[in-house]
Structure 1
Amino acid sequence: MSRISTPDLPATPYKFYRPDARLIGVAAKAALLADYWDAPFAGAATDGAEFGFRDEVYWFYKSARPITKSEAGAHSLMNRRDSSVVSLPRDFDTECSLTMGVAGDLIQAEGLEQSKNILFSNVADILFEKDLSFANYESVAAEDDIVKKALGDGRSFTMCCSKAQYSTLTQHNGKRFSVLNTANNHTFDLDLAGLETTQKLLEQDGIVSIGTPRDIEEYGRGSVLTINGIKIGFVSATFGIRRFKLPVHQRHRIHVAKLCSKYVAPELELLKQQIADCKAQGCDFIVGSLHWGWEFEFFPRESQIEAAHALVEAGVDLLLGHHPHVIQPVEIYPTKRDPNRIAVIAYSLGSTTFGWFTAPYMMLSLMLDIQLSKGTVDGEQRTYIAAAKPIPVFRHHFMQDGKLLMRIEKLVEHLAPSGKMTSSVQQMNEYAKLVLGDSYAR
């Protein structure tokens, strides 16, 4: 892996973003010197609307020093991470099948448009040679002048991008993502106009957007599409939105619920309403997209694990999580509702793209290679996950013809015997082993 010749790329968000108050920065620096948090802060907020002073300090602290320990109640998760156990029942008679590629957050980076048709070139087989591809799209699009004004010096928490960057993020050599989640905390960073511009672009490109209903009749309903004879329903929600307040008559424009509040238990009714709608439409398989979790923590909170299991038992077959900017475990969960069904829960896929951060935990993300099969078992028609493989990938930054470019690389292709790997690759491999468990290490 070639070294970056540009010396001023930020290592971490701590070095890049500015706290709202100087005292927050001072307190975060002191906490880092004291190594204050080595486990999840139990009372921390993740929704900006619930942030207090200590939450702000904790955010900046872990953006520089991610939390690698889990809550005590999350330990049982460690025994359910072996994706090799995902298979079809012995007597399953396959009628049709479908392949699916999944990525994490797609977030803007200054100058990323120069990496068009380069960004995904080494992972195109995972994403764009499948029957269906999915990611979380987290940078609303607008005209260049609007984006330039909104981003300022680039150090604000606003996530938006030009139409050229949108194109770079959503396609590769003319092949596009099939489905993109647009319900996240940055959906309204350019107010309602930014979402509407983004939705128009997605519609023009034939990409299905989920989680942001245009009409009030769509609120609380799933998004359904049929591929290869398999009817798939998508349900989606975000834990919150930043600052922008929707007018009362526009509150149907996003599926938002208190999924990770520090005050109340996860609210799942909106998601269960969408699940029920997918069932009513006769879906064979249901995918859940959740924008949730605590940033820069390598393991989900116990409340998330319980919520994920509840959603699976309600009908979700594949759950795709995003928001924490780092990877979290992929749980292999045998369901109680169907003894033959194994659900896959990816608590956080990390950020496929997000600025030019060079810290290994920021560069690393996960993609999923999924195969679905529809057929019969015991005289009943079912659609199951036939195979599921988490694939660690990372953002490789390099100079070419005087331009700073980005390309997503498969981590395994950069592994080498001890002593021959770069320190960055070695650290990313350790994080992957921590999160994915022994099955990855093998």
Structure 2
Amino acid sequence: MKNLLDRNLGTIAMPHHLPSTPMDVFSAKPETLETVRKAKVFGWWDFPLEDVGVDNPEMNANDSAYWHYASGNPITKTKQEVSEAVFQSGISAVGLPGDFETESSLTVGAAGDLIRADGLEYSKDILFEGIEDILFDTDVAFANYESVVAEDDVVKKSIVDGQSFIMCCSSTQYTALTEHRGRRFDVLNIANNHSLDLGVESLSTTQDLFLRDGIMDIGAPRSAQEYGKGKVFVRNGIKLGFVSATFSLNGKPLPTGQEFRVHTSKLMSRYVPPDLELLRAQIADCKIRGCDFIVASIHWGVEFEFFPRLRQIEAAHALVEEGVDLILGAHPHVIQPVEYYRTKRDPNRIAVIAYSLGTLTWGWYTAPHLILSLIMHLKLAKGHVGGEPRTYIESAKPNPVYRNISEEANGRFMRIQKLCDQDENGGAACAIVKMKQYATLVLGDGWAY
């Protein structure tokens, strides 16, 4: 067996090059490449670009150059006020009050983006085998599903040899992404900037497959009556409310009469503060329906930055005080800190805010910042404290994982592996070391324990 991560990052050249970062595939204008070159030389973007457009209709030439630069040179620094906010409390703050009386509990495994990759269909039942205990051996398995499903000929036409920004996959890749040895994800978010890549029809096709397979989708109402409403999932006597929104649809308009089809809000506009009204409406709906615990799946952030923006932190805190107990963020394609926030509405309650879980599967194979992601493993407890019904997070652990590609006698396979299980010897040592440095940067020193 040949480990392609070893071969790409070691001293021996690979016989077949695998794309490492978007810079390997996506062409850029000469002026964009010149800006990227100057940014490297002069250190323009060692810190995040202050005024940046991340929604396609708001992006300019400088934003495009920043995107290309950061895709290969991730932004690892941030302002002091951001660090002080997200690291104010550590994971040790999570736990149940001393007088809590537990009645029932459940476990949650939450992963980042599920995105197509060439040949992924051949990794069915192999892809998740190294992480099934923290993802599928749970009561609720969650992820962000970012590749709408279409017929094979449509997918081949849309991907254009890997040079398309469209995220779509075949039905066989869909199965590899959502199923593991007969078990499937329980809840998948589909409110993201690629929801309309192939139009409303493919979005509906994807939802039909979820319905067939017993997967609850969130973020894409199928009727006007569902718009602004949460989704409810009950397991072990605990009623979970799910709310969801995306910052963008990549400039694609919702069809007339179907403006309700994706929960979309201006969460990352360069012109206005984050608009939280749609999320607040869903939170209120979950409260009316008697949910014990509210989970927010939010598609936002700046791609390839290892820290959230201050406005995201402020928005996350506002949503938590509104009633959210767990935030699962996606979009940056790299991992970001997990904040343990003691709420003002209930001093006993610690909300967990994972600003970005990164991308679990994708078509970049060797760049340490892009193959690294997080799986949150949480335990919730429902019971009473002081005679009042409460549902709290009993434990939470972020697990850094990465995707590895290997060439074997019968093909090329992708596997997700735990970073803590990997030593720093062999051809892939530099990649393992770099990923561990990134994990320590955003999670602190105790992530491996």
* TM-score calculated relative to the size of structure 2: 0.95
Equivalent residue runs for 1:408-423 within 5 Å: 408-416=416-424, 422-423=429-430
Distance in structure 1 (CA, Å) of the matches to 2:113 and 2:322: 26
The 8 Å contact of residues 224 and 234 in structure 1, kept in 2 or not, is answered as yes
CA offsets, 1:15-60, max 9 Å, x none?
Answer: 22223x4422332233233332100101011111210011001100
Query: Does residue 1:333 correspond to 2:341, yes or no?
Result: yes
Q: Deviations over 1:59-97 (max 9, x none)?
A: 001111010011333121353352232110001000000
- Unaligned runs of at least 5 residues, structure 1: none
Higher mean C-alpha deviation, range 391-400 or range 3-12: 3-12
* 1:388 counterpart (393, 396, 403): 396
* Contact kept? 2:86, 2:338, Cα under 8 Å: no
Q: 2:312 aligns with which of 300, 304, 312?
A: 304
Offset at 1:6?
4.9
* Partner Cα distance (2:76, 2:410) in 1: 37
1:111 deviation in Å? 1.0
Instruction: Kindly state the Cα deviation for residue 224 of structure 1 after the two structures are TM-superposed.
Output: 0.4
Q: Pick the aligned partner of 2:191 from 180, 183, 189.
A: 183
Amino acid paired to 1:49: P
Give SS of 1:49's match: helix
Question: What SS class does the counterpart of residue 222 from structure 2 fall into?
Answer: coil
Native 8 Å contact 1:295 1:324 kept in 2 = yes
Does the Cα contact within 8 Å between 1:290 and 1:322 map onto a contact in 2? yes
Question: Could you tell me which residue of structure 2 aligns to residue 431 of structure 1?
Answer: 438
Alignment partner of 2:52 out of 40, 44, 55: 44
Q: Please show how residues 202-241 of structure 1 align to structure 2 within 5 Å.
A: 202-241=210-249
* Structure 2, unpaired ranges of 5+: 8-13
The CA deviation at 1:241 is 0.4
1:421 Cα deviation (Å)?
7.1
Contact 1:288 1:316 in 2 (8 A): yes
The amino acid that maps onto 2:272 is V
1:415–1:421 Cα contact (<8 Å) kept: no
Change (3 A) 1:6 1:285: farther
1:308-357 Cα offsets, whole Å, 9 max, x none, are 00000000000000000000000000000001100000000000011133
- The change in CA–CA distance for 1:316 and 1:388 in structure 2 (over 3 A counts) is same
Residues 198-248 of structure 1, C-alpha deviation per residue, up to 9 Å, x if partnerless?
Answer: 011111000000000001000000000111000000000000102321123
Letter in 2 for 1:229: G
CA distance in 2, matches of 1:193, 1:172: 27
Paired AA for residue 335 in structure 1:
T
Counterparts of 2:185 and 2:46 in 1: how far apart (Å)? 38
Q: 1:64 aligns to what?
A: 72
Q: Give me the whole-angstrom Cα distance separating, in 1, the residues matched to 2:270 and 2:79.
A: 15
**Which residue identity lines up with residue 19 of structure 2 in the other structure?**
P
Q: Give CA-to-partner distance per residue, 1:119-176, whole Å, 9 cap, x none.
A: 0010011111111010000000000001001111211111100000010000101100
Q: 1:127 aligns with which of 111, 116, 135?
A: 135
Instruction: Kindly indicate whether the alpha-carbon contact (under 8 Å) linking 1:230 and 1:284 is maintained by their aligned counterparts in 2.
Output: yes
Give SS of 1:244's match.
coil
Q: Is the 8 A contact 2:365 2:403 kept in 1?
A: no
Q: 2:125 aligns with which of 105, 117, 121?
A: 117
Match among 144, 147, 158 for residue 139 of structure 1:
147
Structure-1 residue corresponding to 2:386: 378
For 2:44 and 2:348, locate their aligned partners in 1 and report how far apart those are by CA, in whole Å.
45
Partner SS for 1:430: helix
CA–CA distance in structure 1, aligned partners of residues 175 and 218 of structure 2: 18
Amino acid at match of 1:423: C
CA distance 1:267–1:230, change in 2 (3 Å):
same
Is the deviation greater in 239-248 or in 145-154? Answer: 239-248
Correspondent of 2:17 among 8, 13, 20: 8
1:62 counterpart SS class: helix
How many residues align? The count is 440
1:260-279 equivalences in 2 (<5 Å): 260-279=268-287
SS at match of 1:374: strand
TM-score, normalising length from structure 1? 0.97
> Residue in 2 aligned with 1:195?
203
Match of 1:163 in 2: 171
Q: Matches of 1:53 and 1:26 in 2, distance apart?
A: 12
**CA distance, structure 2, for counterparts of residue 421 and residue 410 of structure 1:** 14
